[in-house]
Amino acid sequence: KLDFHPAGRHFLQIPGPSPVPDRILRAMSYPTIDHRGPEFAALGLKVLSGIQKIFKTTQPVIIYPASGTGAWEAALANTLSPGDTVLMYETGHFATLWKKMAEALGLKPEFIGLPGIEGWRRGVQADAIEARLRADTAHVIKAVCVVHNETSTGVTSNIAAVRKAIDAAGHPALLLVDTISGLASADYRHDEWGVDVTVSGSQKGLMLPPGISFNAVSKKAIAASKTAKLPRAFWAWDEIIEMNKTGYWPYTPNTNLLYGLSEALDMILDEGLENTFARHQRLAAACRIAVKAWGLEVQCADPDVFSPVLTGVMTPEGIDADAVRKTIYERFNMSLGTGLGKMKGRMFRIGHLGEANDLTLMATLAGVEMGLKLSGITIKASGVTAAMDYLSNQKIPALKIA
């Protein structure tokens, strides 16, 4: 319990859950309806077709009443068999957790990546995947699993390059991609990139609370599911896809979160997906400009794969990043993301996703800048001023009063 109630809204600037817009909260407060009734089917059909546009797919998208971890399990359990080898790439903490899950399910993950911390500062190296697949002439590897937007570091890997690598090696492995924190914030193209299963979640770019997650699938993934032997019941695609054709689920779906999803889809598609992506890129660029002005280092070391969703900020040697976060939380009522796994205490993460705009970012950067100073960190220059200069010079559609 806080010893007093801080004025104003809490600034939830972690890279998900992201702040839930009032419009979505209101939509979620509608009465829960009969999930077997006619009204529900209209909602089900609307969200199932709307979400395809966000994944850029014409193929089925399965919606689970579960967090992203459930959809991770669903992707593996539906397509693979006990003892199958899967090639997984270490981009950070979430890639590591997915690998742990694969082991727990009885798969044999081969975990490749750049050594030490270097791998956590760069995206997936598609040439390493190609080389490993070329060496696998017996086609023992059944799937390649990569994280698109690595939330622990702020690195967005090039999925088209991974697809190209698999094709160049002439390898039949499935391509499984986690874009739990990338969807609806970073450009993503399930069909064009030839992804077999895309995993995503509700609490990031979709601006919803945690609680629903997704598998977008391909024909090849569905074919694989017919012979895959890992045990599955709740996660099994076939019955869900069949019932989804009429807008229903085989079990009780998460009705009120689906109201929220329907509202989120309206908001994103009204803004226009490409505009949404451009806004995220603009905010991320402004955030990096601030970090550079402060004289601090961005965790992602390769400009080609800077994340539009979040920015990882490394604190100077000897400064505990979690102590900085604590100061900012206690003084300014703002939450920043902690350093995870190998980066614990060495970095904090600034989320700029979902409904973030120029002014929410500026307030966030002001809180960080004040917090850095209060933590005894000498900054080179004002990141706030640098970011304002950048943002005020961007050409973006302005609101017009008729």
User: Which CB sits closer to ligand PLP, 216 or 384?
Assistant: 216
- Give me the numbers of helices (H) and strands (E) for the chain, helices first please: 13, 14
CB-CB neighbours of 139 under 10 Å: 12
Looking at 67-75, 135-143, 217-225, 361-369, which segment touches ligand PLP (CB under 6 A)? 67-75
Contact positions with ligand PLP (CB under 6 A) in 206-225: 210
| Per CB under 6 A, 147 contacts ligand PLP | yes
Contact positions with ligand PLP (CB under 6 A) in 8-47: 16
Q: Which of 88, 77, 70 is nearest to 200 (CA)?
A: 70
| Per CB under 6 A, 181 contacts ligand PLP | yes
**Minimum CB distance to ligand PLP, residue 31 (Å):** 27
61: three-class secondary structure by DSSP:
strand
User: Which CB sits closer to ligand PLP, 144 or 386?
Assistant: 144
User: Which CB sits closer to ligand PLP, 66 or 287?
Assistant: 66
Binding-site size for ligand PLP (CB under 6 A) equals 12
- What whole-number distance in Å separates Cα of residue 284 and Cα of residue 306? 8
**Minimum CB distance to ligand PLP, residue 182 (Å):** 8
Q: In what order do the strands lie in the sheet with 347-351?
A: 297-298, 310-314, 347-351
User: Which CB sits closer to ligand PLP, 353 or 386?
Assistant: 353
CB 199 within 8 A of CB 215: yes
CB 144 within 8 A of CB 173: yes
| Per CB under 6 A, 119 contacts ligand PLP | no
Which parts are annotated binding residues?
Answer: 349
Sign of CA dihedral 279, 282, 288, 291: negative
**Minimum CB distance to ligand PLP, residue 16 (Å):** 5
| Per CB under 6 A, 73 contacts ligand PLP | no
| Per CB under 6 A, 145 contacts ligand PLP | no
| Per CB under 6 A, 201 contacts ligand PLP | yes
| Per CB under 6 A, 68 contacts ligand PLP | yes
**Minimum CB distance to ligand PLP, residue 205 (Å):** 11
Q: 59, 125, 151, 262: which one contacts ligand PLP (CB under 6 A)?
A: 151
Longest dimension (CA), the chain: 66
349: three-class secondary structure by DSSP:
strand
Q: Number of C-alpha atoms within 13 angstroms, CB side, residue 158? A: 14
Looking at 138-146, 177-185, 239-247, 255-263, which segment touches ligand PLP (CB under 6 A)? 177-185
| Per CB under 6 A, 205 contacts ligand PLP | no
What is the chain's length? Answer: 402
Q: To which H or E segment does residue 277 belong? A: helix 273-294
Looking at 25-33, 64-72, 107-115, 293-301, which segment touches ligand PLP (CB under 6 A)? 64-72
Which parts are annotated binding residues for substrate?
Answer: 349
Sign of CA dihedral 70, 95, 185, 350: positive
How much is the CA Rg of the chain, to the nearest whole Å? 21
**Minimum CB distance to ligand PLP, residue 73 (Å):** 10
User: Which DSSP category does 306 fall into?
Assistant: B
Residue 130 sits at φ, ψ, to 5 deg, of -60, -45
Distance of CA 161 to the CA centre of its chain: 19
| Per CB under 6 A, 69 contacts ligand PLP | yes
User: Which CB sits closer to ligand PLP, 208 or 334?
Assistant: 208
Q: To which H or E segment does residue 112 belong? A: strand 108-112
| Per CB under 6 A, 194 contacts ligand PLP | no
Q: 67, 338, 360, 382: which one contacts ligand PLP (CB under 6 A)?
A: 67
Contact positions with ligand PLP (CB under 6 A) in 268-287: none
DSSP string, 108-141: EEEEE-SSGGGGGSS---HHHHHHHHHH-TT--E
| Per CB under 6 A, 354 contacts ligand PLP | no
User: Which CB sits closer to ligand PLP, 178 or 355?
Assistant: 178
User: Which CB sits closer to ligand PLP, 105 or 387?
Assistant: 105
CB 261 within 8 A of CB 202: yes
- Beta strand 141-147 pairing with 11-13: unpaired
Q: Which of 17, 70, 72 is nearest to 337 (CA)?
A: 17
User: Which CB sits closer to ligand PLP, 181 or 254?
Assistant: 181
Residues interacting with ligand PLP, by CB under 6 A?
Answer: 16, 67-69, 94, 147, 151, 178, 180-181, 201, 210
